[in-house]
Structure 1
Amino acid sequence: MMNTILIYFTESTSKLSDYTFDHYLQKLPRSEQEKIKAFRRWEDAQSSLLGKMLLKKVLYDCNLGEHGLDQIQLTQFGRPYINSTIDFNLTHSGNYILCASTQNGRLGIDIEKINPIQLADYRSVFNAKEWDSIVNSPSPKIHFYKLWTIKEAVLKAQGNGLSFPPNQVEALHTTINIEGKQWHYHTIELNENYICHLATDIICPEILLIQMNMNHLD
């Protein structure tokens, strides 16, 4: 489908049974299994596992077969990619895990649970206009998370890692230009306690949200 972006997401509402966790784990490449086993908190391990299972489904649905995860490589900046027309990006926060994908461009996605924060600790992330808009907003924390997730989504789409300063991502603009590349962002509404943004180089994409049950991802 032209200009379509699929966002598969699931909600990690409780701990998976040992059977389901191990069943999912065995479906992943050995290298991914080891990364997941290295997490100390079960919540982190489960979020990572569910994210990989969502990605596995995306790749399978794009006709890359059962072993699509084996084809993933990393750019010099650590951005995962696959030698195909598909682009994908994962994000998770709190109970939500999302995997966005498209076969017609590039994208990045970021979700953040709205938690208490010390805004001043993040001053360097924003330029003067952005910071002014945050501190003068009726809801500074909400506005902070809005701009933060826009920046994160754009930087993940651009794929330059930490080489591009976040305060140079003009999150107050509807179209964001980085090194000659134009990005458009979209708000993804899932839950009033979370803020999520998608960034893409696709103009006017059709965005489809598909919720998956965490116990039925295979």
Structure 2
Amino acid sequence: MINIYYSYLSEGNHESLLRNHLPDFPENYQAKISRFRRWQDAQASVLGRILLFTGLKEAGFLGPADKELKYTSYHKPYFEDHPVQFNISHSGEIVVCALSDEGEIGIDIEIISDILIDDFKFQMTENEWERISTSTNTKNAFFEYWTQKEAVIKAHGHGLTIPLQSFEITDYSTIIQGEKFYLKEINIDKKYQCALSLKTTIKDVVLKHLS
């Protein structure tokens, strides 16, 4: 089972979303949300939780909303003694949550924006940078590699302690510390690039939009 849920931020729905859903979560989390200065940041966090618990419910794992998320020493959230692994990402106006019962999972989404791509050259291997710089669309090529690398280190679980230039993406797979990771591009919105990563070959993925 690999399900990906996504939703768009909406300023018009912000107050009703907080009113209807925030009380379902622990008080310490509610206090955290109240400290956000930007409504976008608050809503992105809450939507991530909503997508997560919607996915758990539809998969038959109700997981009470008051159950505390735990965090590894590398700040990756998880549920203790739970068969479903998950990962959440957001960028621009989209929040995504990937769930899997096939082991650790990582997902990354990025809005395709105008950035100084050369500033990130040191994050790529020589071969990756060659493919990016010679591509007919360097911006899209860069974000394709960037989301893949981010998804992989999130699936690995050690975050940015793994230097991005220390492993190379080739044909939608890579190896980190002797472990092989597979990748798949997820098409959600033409303005965004999104990548999914697992330790197993990625076959069927169900994409669900939560409005």
Give TM class, smaller chain.
over 0.9
Q: How many residues align?
A: 210
Q: Deviations over 1:134-170 (max 9, x none)?
A: 1111111110000000000000000012211111231
Q: What is the CA–CA distance in structure 2 between the aligned matches of 1:73 and 1:135, rounded to whole Å?
A: 41
Give the aligned CA root-mean-square deviation in angstroms. 1.6
User: Which position in structure 1 is the counterpart of 2:33?
Assistant: 36
Secondary structure of the residue aligned to 2:170 is: coil
Which residue type is aligned with residue 26 of structure 1? Answer: P
Distance apart, 1:201 and its partner CA: 1.3
Q: TM (normalized to structure 1)?
A: 0.90
1:25 matched to 2:27: no
Distance apart, 1:63 and its partner CA: 4.2
Q: What is the CA–CA distance in structure 2 between the aligned matches of 1:24 and 1:200, rounded to whole Å?
A: 30
Is residue 106–residue 202 contact of structure 1 (8 Å, CA) maintained in 2?
A: no
Match of 1:140 among 138, 141, 144: 138
Structure 2 residues without counterparts, runs of 5 or longer: none
Q: TM (normalized to structure 2)?
A: 0.93
Distance apart, 1:172 and its partner CA: 3.1
Is residue 5–residue 98 contact of structure 2 (8 Å, CA) maintained in 1?
A: yes
Distance apart, 1:64 and its partner CA: 4.1
1:11 matched to 2:8: yes
User: Which position in structure 1 is the counterpart of 2:123?
Assistant: 125
Secondary structure of the residue aligned to 2:99 is: strand
Alignment of 1:86-165 (within 5 A): 86-165=84-163
Is residue 143–residue 193 contact of structure 2 (8 Å, CA) maintained in 1?
A: yes
Is residue 12–residue 96 contact of structure 1 (8 Å, CA) maintained in 2?
A: yes
Q: What is the CA–CA distance in structure 2 between the aligned matches of 1:119 and 1:69, rounded to whole Å?
A: 42
User: Which position in structure 2 is the counterpart of 1:216?
Assistant: none
Is residue 147–residue 172 contact of structure 1 (8 Å, CA) maintained in 2?
A: no
Distance apart, 1:13 and its partner CA: 3.9
User: Which position in structure 2 is the counterpart of 1:85?
Assistant: 83
Query: Greater relative contact order: 1 or 2 (C-alpha under 8 angstroms, separation 6 or more)?
Result: 1
Structure 1 residues without counterparts, runs of 5 or longer: 214-218
Q: Deviations over 1:48-72 (max 9, x none)?
A: 1111111122233344435255242
Q: Deviations over 1:186-215 (max 9, x none)?
A: 0100111100000011224310001111xx
Q: What is the CA–CA distance in structure 2 between the aligned matches of 1:85 and 1:189, rounded to whole Å?
A: 26
